[in-house]
């Protein structure tokens, strides 16, 4: 599993702090508490990898993990943190928006959602952005261990249906659990494919 080599590279709050835009990057997005850090830890088999993303001050930074030379996982800040001053917020949103729309290294988007509460506004917005620029996206419906197999299948089918109705039928959807590692291999295969690892 090449993702096990992931290590914290650095964080970017401004364009100058970004690595050169020449490699392969996969972005991870999700609402706060959806289970994104746990998913990153499960995928990389590192218990504390994504803890760095949660330290104070990192809520407005793109957190880069290097998997191999010019191969990065990028942790986008969880949506739903406390308010920050308006001008700072505007700067950050412009930076994030610009990065997401124009970053050439970006090869795919993973959206982490609680399987019991999928496709909230922020999730849809991220998926819409990806579809708009022709970027592949993959939805991890995590905390699947909280549901039985039948309910999981229903949730996956409902999300697929809603995405298809919204013109995002190409987006991958799978059940996932950081707790019992269900779906981890499947998700790794998607990420490794995008990173061409
Ligand atoms: P983040 O804010 O999206 O990074 O979410 P975290 O990864 O910190 O997870 C938020 C909470 O959900 C924590 O209490 C985790 O232990 C819990 N959690 C995350 N993933 C799972 C999972 O797959 N199953 C279960 N049962 N709990 C999970």
Question: For residue 115, what is the domain's CATH number?
Answer: 3.40.50.300
Range of the domain at 85: 2-195
Question: Per-residue pLDDT tens for 13-66?
Answer: 999 999 999 999 999 999 989 999 999 999 999 998 888 777 766 678 999 999
Q: Ligand 1: which residue has its CA nearest to atom 17?
A: 35
Give pTM, 2 decimals: 0.96
Percent of the chain with pLDDT over 90: 80
Average pLDDT over residues 175-192: 98
Is residue 113 lining ligand 1, measured as CB closer than 6 Å? no
> What is the spatial distance between Cα 190 and Cα 18, in angstroms, rounded to a whole number?
24
Number of domains in the chain: 1
Cα 154 to ligand 1 centre (Å): 21
DSSP structure string for 66-126: EEETTEEEEEPPPB-PPP--HHHHHHHHHHHHHHHHH-TTEEEEEEEEETTS---HHHHHH
């Amino acid at each position: 599993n090449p993702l096990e080599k992931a290590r914290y590279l650095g964080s970017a709050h401004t364009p100058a702090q970004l690595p050169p835009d020449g490699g392969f990057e996969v972005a991870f997005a999700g609402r706060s508490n959806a289970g994104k850090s746990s998913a990153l830890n499960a995928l990389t088999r590192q218990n504390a990898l994504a803890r760095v993303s949660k330290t104070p001050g990192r809520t407005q930074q793109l957190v880069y993990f290097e998997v191999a030379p010019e191969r990065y996982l990028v942790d986008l800040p969880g949506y739903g943190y406390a308010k920050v001053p308006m001008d700072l917020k505007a700067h950050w949103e412009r930076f994030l928006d610009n990065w997401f729309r124009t970053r050439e290294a970006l090869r795919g988007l993973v959206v982490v959602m609680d399987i019991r509460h999928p496709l909230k506004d922020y999730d849809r917005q991220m998926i819409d952005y990806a579809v708009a620029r022709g970027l592949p996206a993959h939805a991890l419906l995590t905390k699947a261990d909280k549901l039985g197999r039948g309910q999981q299948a229903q949730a996956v089918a409902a999300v697929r249906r809603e995405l298809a109705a919204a013109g995002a039928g190409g987006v991958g959807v799978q059940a996932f659990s950081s707790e019992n590692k269900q779906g981890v291999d499947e998700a790794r295969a998607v990420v490794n494919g995008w990173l061409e690892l």
